């Protein structure tokens, strides 16, 4: 009996040994995915484009496959052009794929390493997420903020009708008003609000300077120690100015809500809910302050891009606009504006909102970093590698979306026995533990703006000197992608629509 036990033990140890040897062999012999061939020492540093890199990544994907590898000065970068691969890696193995890379320019020098999108994976990150989930974690949780979104959208209708040539500014103002009220209980002024101005300044800076790799310091972190006056160190001045703006953006509204609470007049908000009935430690105060700032900056910018895209799409798609208006008229009528209570009864409006999110991808690419060595599908993914899901490519995949460049809401409606195409909200808000925590709030803001605008506006091409001006479909390159400025005509659909717009709020 003892002999059998010893034999069994030896067999068990042998099996473990064989397993470990196989794992070691697999790790040592696993190859990198294919990708463009780089140069000695510097790798692919000359191959990575600075303008709309997601387009180049998508083209490389056609040649090299859904997961490809590039190397920049020894930094391994893996681009994922496939939704399924992104799910397999970033969702199912989120425990090791949820870090962010250290980014010397935007993360360290500009100060964005303090915000949730840049925060390294760890305890502070989990606290940020916990705060956000507590307030915005589900559609049901954001219902309490629906009246704010409806009120501010009605104010937007008035401004857009009065000055349609300032459409983008109106959209930005409205997004700022909604998120400031929700995050801090702050009600913006009609024009030139100081907090909206700070936000616009900060968001413009991160859009212009926040792309990883646009500055050499991202590849040579030692350059961060170069003094600002040194020749060629202009990036240090840019970073300092951006950091000052960011710190002001975080502190000003946070101090406002604290002052309001001390005076006993604070409105309900994300910050006041986290601050009330508590004495915070220095760390807790920091987490609340920067959690709120992260929601403020994220919510203020992403919905601007989506809502501006809506007006571009409607300018170019009169038939879609008319079909949407028929649905609203039949469900809502002409005597009131749509509200969130109508949402389940307006499937075509819902489809338009999905198509807005797919057609112009607000965040075309995001960055993940790996905290442990991994082997995925036979490929070696070393610890510290940068993993980039190409969200633009996934939402323009002709295998999933027929004629992806076409704006077509009907792709999301079951028709003639065909199943709807993949809901873009499964993709556009990110993956794993890095998905957007304010996605339900953003989704609601886009929906109410779309529904109310279609209820009262006729949106069309501008006519100048007898010539109809067709806007060009082109989107900016940057961390966040916006439609490039365009002209459109915005008019009230009828006298009843005009009266609804002008109603007192």
Q: Which residues are annotated as a binding site?
A: 436
C-alpha 115/C-alpha 100 separation (Å) is 11
Bridge partners, 290 (sequence order): none
Strands 75-80 and 379-381: unpaired
**Residue 162 tokens, joined:** 């009065």
Report the chain's C-alpha Rg in angstroms.
25
Is the CB of residue 242 less than 8 Å from the CB of residue 201? Answer: no
Bridge partners, 490 (sequence order): 459
Residues annotated within a binding site for heme: 436
C-alpha 362/C-alpha 428 separation (Å) is 8
How many Cβ atoms from other residues are within 10 Å of residue 143's Cβ?
12
**Residue 45 tokens, joined:** 């540093």
**Residue 393 tokens, joined:** 């490519």
Is the CB of residue 499 less than 8 Å from the CB of residue 339? Answer: no
C-alpha 330/C-alpha 340 separation (Å) is 16
**Residue 485 tokens, joined:** 């400025």
C-alpha 392/C-alpha 60 separation (Å) is 13
**Residue 176 tokens, joined:** 């700022």
**Residue 231 tokens, joined:** 């020749």
| Residues counted in the chain | 505
C-alpha 412/C-alpha 400 separation (Å) is 11
C-alpha 278/C-alpha 288 separation (Å) is 12
Residues 108, 112, 113, 117, CA torsion sign: negative
**Residue 132 tokens, joined:** 């956000």
**Residue 300 tokens, joined:** 């203020």
Span between the terminal Cα atoms of the chain, in Å: 88
Strands 379-381 and 374-376: antiparallel
213 backbone dihedrals φ, ψ, rounded to 5°: 100, -10
Spell out the alpha helix ranges (H) of 95-216.
123-136, 146-162, 167-184, 194-209
C-alpha 341/C-alpha 451 separation (Å) is 12
With 0-12 / 13-18 / 19 or more C-beta atoms within 10 angstroms meaning exposed / middle / buried, residue 147 is exposed
């Amino acid at each position: 009996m003892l002999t059998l036990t010893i034999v069994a033990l030896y067999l068990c140890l042998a099996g473990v040994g064989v397993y470990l040897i196989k794992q070691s062999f697999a790790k040592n012999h696993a190859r990198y995915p294919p990708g463009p061939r780089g140069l000695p020492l510097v790798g692919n540093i000359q191959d990575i484009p600075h303008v709309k890199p997601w387009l180049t990544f998508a083209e490389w994907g056609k040649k090299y496959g859904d997961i490809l590898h590039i190397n920049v000065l020894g930094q391994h970068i893996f681009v994922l052009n496939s939704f399924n691969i992104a799910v397999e890696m970033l969702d199912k193995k989120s425990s090791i794929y949820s870090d962010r890379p250290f980014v010397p320019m935007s993360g360290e020098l500009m100060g964005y390493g303090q915000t949730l999108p840049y925060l390294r994976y760890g305890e502070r990150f989990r606290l940020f997420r916990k705060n956000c989930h507590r307030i915005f974690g589900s559609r049901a949780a954001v219902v309490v903020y629906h009246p704010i979104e409806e009120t501010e959208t009605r104010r937007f209708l008035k401004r857009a009708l009065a000055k349609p040539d300032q459409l983008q500014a109106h959209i930005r103002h409205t997004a700022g008003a909604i998120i400031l009220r929700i995050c801090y209980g702050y009600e913006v002024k009609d024009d030139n609000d100081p907090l909206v101005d700070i936000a616009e300044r900060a968001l413009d800076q991160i859009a212009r300077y926040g792309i990883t790799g646009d500055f050499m310091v991202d590849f040579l972190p030692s350059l961060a120690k170069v003094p600002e006056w040194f020749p060629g160190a202009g990036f240090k001045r840019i970073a300092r100015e951006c950091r000052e703006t960011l710190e002001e953006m975080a502190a000003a509204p946070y101090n406002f809500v604290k002052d309001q609470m001390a005076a006993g007049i604070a409105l309900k908000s994300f910050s006041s809910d986290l601050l009330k009935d508590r004495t915070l430690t220095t760390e807790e105060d920091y987490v609340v302050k920067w959690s709120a700032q992260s929601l403020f900056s994220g919510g203020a910018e992403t919905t601007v891009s989506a809502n501006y895209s809506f007006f571009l799409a409607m300018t170019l798609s009169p038939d879609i606009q008319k079909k949407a208006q028929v649905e609203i008229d039949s469900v809502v009528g002409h005597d009131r504006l749509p509200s969130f209570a109508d949402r389940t009864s307006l499937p075509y409006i819902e489809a338009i909102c999905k198509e807005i999110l797919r057609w112009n991808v607000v965040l075309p690419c995001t960055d993940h970093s790996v905290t442990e060595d991994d082997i995925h599908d036979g490929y070696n993914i070393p610890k510290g590698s940068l993993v980039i899901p190409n969200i633009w490519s996934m939402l323009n995949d002709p295998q999933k979306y027929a004629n992806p460049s076409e704006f077509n809401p009907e792709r999301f409606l079951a028709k003639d026995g065909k199943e709807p195409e993949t809901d873009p909200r499964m993709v556009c808000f990110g993956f794993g533990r890095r998905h957007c925590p304010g996605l339900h709030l953003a989704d609601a803001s886009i929906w109410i703006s779309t529904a109310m605008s279609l209820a009262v506006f006729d949106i069309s091409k501008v006519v100048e000197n007898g010539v109809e001006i067709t806007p060009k479909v082109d989107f900016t390159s940057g961390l966040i992608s916006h439609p490039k400025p365009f002209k459109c005509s915005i008019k009230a659909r009828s006298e009843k629509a005009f009266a609804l717009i002008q109603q007192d709020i």
